């Protein structure tokens, strides 16, 4: 079977279609080796489109296309979330919304833990999923999806990550993403997995 051709990224500027400072910082760290100037949607005062997709990929696509069309630059969007096995994959694409209107992840982490406590199960397995979409102003897109598996801990530990990181212990480790140094997390995270696929397809010759 012939491998699918991918469009190569040849711009010096990319818009990160997110208003999440932690996510923007993490993607910027991953982009640094490629000499690309990354600008966040917040810096450009771009509106946040409503996430109406029913999958991580669909939400990443709509955010990337909206930012590329509004800015005139290629745009990279990430849609990611925590999928808890015993909760049938919840909170999933609604991960941020579990934190309420303020998207308070302390509230979200407590809600996940309380939901598990109400179940008669010792299963604390979970995985993060990250969908990436790189979209160009002409409407072309490339999409990728990565994952990392682990277990949930309580109470939250560490302040180095963001989102659900303080309760997620990746497989093979005994510390949470919130306790882990950024470089170590970048080497194994769901975002790193998806990002490596993106780099191999669109950045590496």
Report pLDDT digits (tens) over 104-136. 999 999 999 999 999 989 999 999 999 999 999
Residues 6+ apart with CB under 8 A from 192: 30, 146, 185, 186
Does residue 141 carry a pLDDT above 90? yes
Percentages helix, strand, coil for the chain (3-state, rounded to 5) are 35, 20, 40
Residues 6+ apart with CB under 8 A from 137: 68, 69, 71, 72, 73, 74
Count of C-beta atoms within a 10 Å radius of residue 22: 13
* H/E run at residue 40: strand 37-40
pLDDT at 205: 53
Q: What are phi and psi of 68, to 5 degrees?
A: -65, -40
C-alpha dist (Å) from residue 203 to 101, 112, 123, 158:
37, 37, 39, 33
Domain 13-203 has CATH 3.90.950.10: yes
Count of C-beta atoms within a 10 Å radius of residue 49: 17
* H/E run at residue 59: helix 56-71
Told to judge if 117 belongs to the known catalytic residues of this protein, a careful annotator would answer no
Tokens of 141: 């897109």
**How far is the C-alpha of 37 from the C-alpha of 12, rounded, in Å?**
6
Tell me the pLDDT of the chain averaged across its residues.
91
Over residues 55-90, the pLDDT tens digits come to 999 999 999 999 999 999 999 999 999 999 999 999
Options 10, 29, 78, 79, the catalytic residue:
79
């Amino acid at each position: 079977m012939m491998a699918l051709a991918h469009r190569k990224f040849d711009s010096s500027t990319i818009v990160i279609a997110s208003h999440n400072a932690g996510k923007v910082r993490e993607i910027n760290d991953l982009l640094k080796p490629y000499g690309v100037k990354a600008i966040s949607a917040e810096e450009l005062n771009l509106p946040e489109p409503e996430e109406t997709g029913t999958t991580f990929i669909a939400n990443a696509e709509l955010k990337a296309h909206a930012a590329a069309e509004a800015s005139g630059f290629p745009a990279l969007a990430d849609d990611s979330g925590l999928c808890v096995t015993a909760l049938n994959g919840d909170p999933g694409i609604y991960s941020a919304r579990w934190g309420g209107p303020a998207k308070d992840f302390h509230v979200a982490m407590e809600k996940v833990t309380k939901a598990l406590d109400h179940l008669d199960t010792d299963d604390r397995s979970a995985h993060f999923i990250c969908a990436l979409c790189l979209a160009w102003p002409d409407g072309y897109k490339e999409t990728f999806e990565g994952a990392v598996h682990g277990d949930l801990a309580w109470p939250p530990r560490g302040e180095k990550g963001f989102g659900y990181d303080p309760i997620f212990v990746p497989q093979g480790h005994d510390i949470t993403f919130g306790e882990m140094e950024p470089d170590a997390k970048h080497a194994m995270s769901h975002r790193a997995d998806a990002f490596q696929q993106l780099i191999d397809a669109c950045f590496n010759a």
